[in-house]
Every structure is written in structure tokens, then in C-alpha cells.
Amino acid sequence: MTIRLLLADDQHLVRAGLAALLNLEDDLEVVHQLPDGTGVVDAIREHNVGVAVLDIEMPEVDGITATQHITDAFGHQVAVLILTTFGRAGYLQRAMAAGACGFMVKDAPADQLAEAIRTVHEGGKAVDPTLAAEALSTGANPLTDRERDVLRAALSGASVKDMAAQVHLSAGTVRNHLSAAIGKTRTANRSEAARTAQLNGWL
């Protein structure tokens, strides 16, 4: 039986190269490609997709949000494999929480990727072992949703006033969330906290 695949990656050359590699496998067929996660649920329905292979960092709708949309629409009938350049433990944790069955980095050998696709299609889990070990040692994301919101706003270097307008909170509430996030990330200021959270894949 041929496993029908959807690929979503914002880099056209990467997506095209990946499709060419996977189509060399006798039992795999890339039936649709997207530049981000927009419209992923409709595309899966239209093309009768069995496994969605998604990048994480994409414009409009990122891979983790798209994973949640797929899980909400199909449950475990459609498997999601995250394939990313950014092997961050926090990304792995968030992807699996959203319903992904696999998480691989883009420099994995083609035969490993093909095998991972077969594994998730059969209902198994396929996770890069180095990342899995790192995720266990790092622990869970300590930040609340609101703390993540204000740290995302802090990445641009915005003032507290601008951040408050961006996340629709009062300036005092933003300061409280920033203070909590700085404590949880064990950093000295909001810029360091935002960078640390980003590097860990918590944002």
C-alpha cells in the first residue's frame, strides 16, 4: 500500500528536494505540497493524505499550530511527522503535545526519514533519540501562555507600553508576567529571558 504524503515547508528548494527523495521510495508518494500550514486540513481531505510532514518555523500558520489543526480535525487517522532544522527540546515537547507522532531533524539520512514515516503511519512514534534525551533532561516548558506571549513581544525590543498594546494587557500585568518569566528562565532581564525561551523552543 502506498502512503500518501503532504509536505509543508516554506523553503521551496528544500520542499522540492524532499519530495524528490521520498518519491524514490516504492511505498511513499508526495501528493501535495504547501508553503506553510494554511489550508492543511482541507488539503489532507482533498488528497486523501495519510501522513503530513511539516516544518515548524513557517509564516502564517507554523507547524505546531498546523499539527493541532490536524489533530482536531482527524484525531489519529492522519499522522503528523515534524521535520525541522531547529532541533530544540521545547519544540519537541510542544509538537508532541499538539498531537505529532514523530519529530526528526532535516539532516537525518533519507532512509531514516522514510522509516520514520512508515512508523508513524502504522501508529507508532518516531523521535530523534538525541532530542528525546535532551527533552527529558530539559524538563517541561515552565512558562504560562501569557508569559510566552509577552516574551514573544519582548524579542523585538518593544517597550512595555508597546508590548501591553500588542498582547492586550495592562502595562502592570505585562511587567508581572515579565518578572515571572525572568525568574523561571533564571536570566537577568527580559531580553535575555526572551532569547533563552526562544533557544529552548518554548516560544
DSSP the chain: -PEEEEEE-S-HHHHHHHHHHHHTSTTEEEEEEESSSTTHHHHHHHHT-SEEEE-SS-SSS-HHHHHHHHHHHHTTSSEEEEEES---HHHHHHHHHHT-SEEEETTS-HHHHHHHHHHHHTT--EE-HHHHHHHHHH-S----HHHHHHHHHHTTT--HHHHHHHHT--HHHHHHHHHHHHHHHT-SSHHHHHHHHHHTT--
- Model pTM score: 0.70
Q: What is the CATH number of the domain that holds 153?
A: 1.10.10.10
Same-domain status, 13 and 77: yes
Of 136, 156, 181, which residue is a domain's last?
A: 136
Q: What is the CATH number of the domain that holds 116?
A: 3.40.50.2300
Same-domain status, 86 and 167: no
What integer is the mean pLDDT of 37-54? 97
Of 108, 136, 164, which residue is a domain's last?
A: 136
The reported pLDDT for the residue numbered 136 is 59
- The residue segments making up the domain with residue 8 are 3-136
What integer is the mean pLDDT of 16-33? 96
Same-domain status, 48 and 123: yes
Residue 11 has pLDDT above 70, yes or no: yes
Structurally, how many domains does the chain consist of? Answer: 2
